[in-house]
Amino acid sequence: MTDAHPVTGLDDVVHQRVRLGILTITHEARRVEFGYLRTQLQLTAGNLSQHLGVLETAGLVEIEKGYEGKRGRTWITLTPAGNAALAEEIGRLKLLIARVEEGFTA
């Protein structure tokens, strides 16, 4: 029996472009403000909220609402499951890239 192709291990929740961006930016920053994510990913507030909802439901991010001065703020952090899912996805992408690059040199 042969090993499955690396693409079969990609997680649809994580792999979607916007959600992968959310996880990556949040991982880099450790804790990120909603407005910063919205700007960096060039999304509407509603679109970002929908993607954050998917990630929160999957247990990959925690969303904290609070205030900074008198302004309402929303902060996003990765859960341990979110960190693990991102690491797994990056590992799968590296395998996929290596496989494709191998085909270019063959």
* CATH value at residue 51: 1.10.10.10
Q: Is the residue at 60 inside a domain?
A: yes
- Cα 42 to Cα 91: distance, rounded to the nearest angstrom: 26
Q: Is the residue at 4 inside a domain?
A: no
Task: Assess contact for 45 and 38: CB atoms under 8 A.
Answer: yes
| Number of folded domains that form the chain | 1
Task: Please tell me the predicted confidence (pLDDT) of residue 1.
Answer: 44
Q: Is the residue at 106 inside a domain?
A: no
Each of the 106 residues of the chain gets a pLDDT tens digit; together they read 457 887 888 888 998 999 999 999 999 999 999 999 999 999 999 999 999 999 999 999 999 999 888 888 999 999 999 999 999 999 999 999 998 888 877 6
Residue span of the structural domain in which 61 resides: 10-101
Tokens of 74: 């929303």
Task: Please tell me the predicted confidence (pLDDT) of residue 28.
Answer: 96
Q: Is the residue at 2 inside a domain?
A: no
**Mutual angle of helices 80-105 and 17-29, in 10-degree steps:** 120
